[in-house]
Structure 1
Amino acid sequence: MYEVRRSGLPLEQAKKAIIVIHGRGATAESILSLSSHLNLTDYAILAPQANGNSWYPYGFMASDEGNKDALQRSLKAIATVREEVLAAGIPDERVYFLGFSQGACLSLEFVARHATRFGGVVAFTGGLVGENLQPERYSGDFKNTPIFIGSSNRDFHVPASRIKESGDLLRKMGADVTIKLFDDPDHTIREEEINWVNQRIFL
């Protein structure tokens, strides 16, 4: 079982919900602290906690075999949180996903495997998971779901080439993808990214 930390409105009172996913070595509390910078006042905010603070053991572009079992468990954990949100009466079109780093990769991987019209997806430094992208893993139609991916143009962990490749695949699945690559070496979430998603996704 994965523990889920909560903030914002209780699910039964909220009209929107966001599932926020922390990065490697971080915690649910750390990603929840980001919510104070986002326009989430009327959202239920749910943050699952990874066992051992990591969603899968190796880099997101490592051998598929090495990450396979842990990745499947982590994807199932996100699916369980989504099911709880849906059961509370909040439909997918008002369900949002946000992650940073490893959490951003997991967010993108989850929505691509369950593509439908979501409220929006925010990936702060992330791309689809796998040694090579395999489009046959993914199915569904995003129906113009807004997806934002922001990162350094030379991030040590997430190559810009994989971000662009991920964006192309998500667009082919019907997503409205925006990619912003910043000319700095920082593995971080920038104020410009926060402002962009507040103005265009968290309305």
Structure 2
Amino acid sequence: MTRKGNPHLATALRHDGPQPADAALAAVLVHGRGQDPDYMAEVAKRIGMADVRCVYPAAFGNSWYPGRFMDALEANEPWLSYALEAVDYALTTLSADGFDSRRTALIGFSQGACLIAEYLVRHPRSFGAVAVLTGGYLGPDGPVRRATGMLLGTPVLLSSSQVDEWVPPGRVRQTAALLQTMGAAVTLRIHDAPEHGVNDTEARAVRDLLDAVTSKTH
């Protein structure tokens, strides 16, 4: 059940790709701050996701929450809860189309990547694959977050730049360590690319991740 008045649910979900019966798997792609679903649709094209049923949540005002991702959690409420609910709603629509979480990938960039990481921490279960591209779990520096459940072998790619101005590599490493504690099969890549975006190497790595999932389902 969705929260009444959630502004992130005001826009209908965009769907791309084959019909559910013809799709190899499904994916929820979450954009960053100042972006919209078109950005992630272009990322999907670069990855090569023509065989994937893609769903794109849209943030109200092009931002999932108002503050920085390392602000106190309560400083980003109620928007953070609304945003997590939007991810959950996208997954629910895919479930209704016949895709359980093990046939579903989560892919996020920047603010969307932070949202995906936070969703995993709060709602752990087995997913087909997860790509956290320039992001980490939310909250301020301090004691490392504790595991709240198990990810049951979910393959997770975390990729970010050593010099990114928005996401410190230390938080990406902390996120990788936490998800590994939760039972994810984590691949961590810290690169030196200066641009804040999804580079070609990351796009290929995500396609490799999806190929590994589809090879298990055939």
Name the TM tier (shorter chain).
Answer: over 0.9
Aligned twin of 1:128: 137
Q: How does 1:143-162 map to 2 (within 5 A)?
A: 143-162=152-171
Amino acid at match of 1:139: T
Counterpart CA distance in 2 for 1:154 and 1:44 is 33
Aligned twin of 2:14: 5
Question: SS state of the match for residue 151, structure 2?
Answer: coil
CA displacement 1:111-145 (0-9 Å, x = unmatched): 22111110100111000011146635x53211111
Runs ≥4 residues deviating over 4 A:
none
Counterpart CA distance in 2 for 1:78 and 1:84 is 10
Aligned twin of 1:25: 34
Question: SS state of the match for residue 126, structure 2?
Answer: coil
Amino acid at match of 1:116: R
Tell me if structure 2 keeps the 8 A contact 1:5–1:46: yes
Counterpart CA distance in 2 for 1:40 and 1:202 is 10
Measured after TM superposition, the shift of residue 173 of structure 1 is 0.2
Aligned twin of 1:163: 172
Aligned twin of 2:125: 116
Q: How does 1:91-110 map to 2 (within 5 A)?
A: 91-110=100-119
Aligned residues: 202
TM-score of the two chains, using structure 1 as the length reference: 0.93
Counterpart CA distance in 2 for 1:105 and 1:182 is 18
Tell me if structure 2 keeps the 8 A contact 1:21–1:104: yes
Question: SS state of the match for residue 77, structure 2?
Answer: helix
Aligned twin of 2:210: 201
Q: How does 1:15-54 map to 2 (within 5 A)?
A: 15-54=24-63
Root-mean-square deviation (CA, aligned residues, Å) is 1.6
Tell me if structure 1 keeps the 8 A contact 2:129–2:209: no
Amino acid at match of 1:135: R
Counterpart CA distance in 2 for 1:76 and 1:200 is 25
Counterpart CA distance in 2 for 1:81 and 1:130 is 24
Amino acid at match of 2:109: F
TM-score of the two chains, using structure 2 as the length reference: 0.87
Percent of matched pairs sharing the same residue? 33
Amino acid at match of 2:110: S
Aligned twin of 1:178: 187
Unpaired segments ≥5 residues, structure 1: none
- 2:71 pairs with one of 62, 66, 83: 62
Measured after TM superposition, the shift of residue 12 of structure 1 is 4.8
CA displacement 1:88-111 (0-9 Å, x = unmatched): 211110110001100010111112
Unpaired segments ≥5 residues, structure 2: 1-8, 213-218
C-alpha distance 197-15 of structure 1, shift in aligned 2 (>3 A): closer
Tell me if structure 1 keeps the 8 A contact 2:157–2:186: yes
Counterpart CA distance in 2 for 1:202 and 1:171 is 21
Tell me if structure 2 keeps the 8 A contact 1:2–1:48: no
Counterpart CA distance in 2 for 1:105 and 1:21 is 10
Tell me if structure 1 keeps the 8 A contact 2:43–2:203: no
Once structures 1 and 2 are overlaid, which stretch shifts more, 127-136 or 80-89? Answer: 127-136
